[in-house]
């Protein structure tokens, strides 16, 4: 049975299931469409995709809903202000009248209209490539700072599928945006090593796709892995 869309008086507008909620899976050797019941939109405002955060999606070391929302906001804001990565995401606490809980966390992602790469001018293509490299350079810097200084870290930054080149409503130019609103963060050093190892693999793929421009980032990430291994070994 399909889950009802949340009823959230604080939003002042009803939610309906988003077309982006569909997933395709192979069942009995047939490709079928599955309604996930996780992504929603406002009935009269298609600028946002709204995700209700399930308890299983809470940050690893955080069980308090309000603390998790505050931590997610803080880390998203830091990523945008300190590392210059666009995050068109809002995190809110509100009550879903269909939920047994008094409060729920909702993540609102502003919809990005992807650019058609085939229609970009040479200048726009060059801008896209340069900005994309700057993002990955910032991601490496982000994890370098976490390895050096500790603290909470976002887990999903090293997945290129989380970035879209396009425009928000009202934008005149295309830019790269981080669009993963899942509140996944941690402060576990062993898990940080797993995250950095995943980033290293992604950077190696980018190096193969885009050339030696990414080699310095691969090298920095390798040094980062070694530093983390040394830190973990010293604590045993």
- Summarised one tens digit per residue, pLDDT across range 61-98 is 677 888 888 999 999 999 999 999 999 999 988 888 87
Query: CB within 8 A of 60, min separation 6: which ones?
Result: 184, 185, 186, 188, 191
Give the long-range contacts of residues 19-25, CB within 8 A, separation 24 or more. Answer: 20/49
> pLDDT per residue over 174-194, tens digit each?
999 999 888 889 999 999 999
pLDDT score, position 22: 53
Q: What is the mean pLDDT of residues 195-205?
A: 96
Give 19's pLDDT tier (boundaries 50, 70, 90). Answer: confident
Give 11's pLDDT tier (boundaries 50, 70, 90). Answer: confident
Token pair for 200: 């290293």
Give 6's pLDDT tier (boundaries 50, 70, 90). Answer: low
Give 37's pLDDT tier (boundaries 50, 70, 90). Answer: very low
Lowest mean pLDDT among 45-54, 133-142, 224-233: 45-54
Burial class of 65 by CB neighbour count within 10 A (0 to 12, 13 to 18, 19+): middle
pLDDT beyond 70 at 33: no
Rounded Cα–Cα distance for residues 107 and 208 (Å): 34
Rounded Cα–Cα distance for residues 147 and 158 (Å): 15
pLDDT score, position 65: 84
Q: What is the mean pLDDT of residues 202-220?
A: 95
């Amino acid at each position: 049975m399909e889950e009802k869309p949340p009823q959230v008086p604080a939003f002042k507008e009803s939610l309906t299931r988003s077309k982006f909620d569909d997933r395709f899976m192979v069942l009995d050797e047939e490709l079928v469409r599955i309604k996930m019941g996780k992504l929603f939109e406002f009935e009269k405002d298609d600028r946002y995709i709204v995700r209700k955060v399930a308890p299983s999606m809470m940050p690893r070391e955080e069980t308090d809903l309000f603390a998790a929302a505050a931590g997610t906001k803080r880390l998203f804001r830091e990523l945008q202000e300190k590392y210059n990565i666009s995050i068109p995401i809002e995190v809110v606490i509100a009550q879903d009248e269909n939920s047994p809980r008094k409060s729920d966390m909702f993540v609102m992602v502003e919809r990005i209209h992807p650019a058609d790469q085939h229609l970009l001018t040479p200048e726009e293509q060059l801008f896209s490539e340069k900005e994309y490299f700057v993002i990955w350079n910032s991601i490496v810097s982000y994890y370098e700072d976490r390895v050096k200084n500790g603290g909470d870290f976002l887990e999903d930054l090293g997945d290129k599928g989380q970035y879209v080149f396009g425009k928000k409503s009202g934008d005149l130019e295309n830019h790269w945006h981080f669009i993963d609103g899942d509140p996944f963060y941690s402060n576990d050093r062993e898990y940080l090593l797993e995250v950095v190892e995943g980033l290293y693999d992604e950077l190696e793929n980018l190096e193969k796709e885009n050339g030696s421009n990414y080699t310095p980032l691969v090298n920095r990430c390798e040094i980062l892995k070694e530093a983390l291994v040394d830190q973990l070994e010293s604590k045993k």
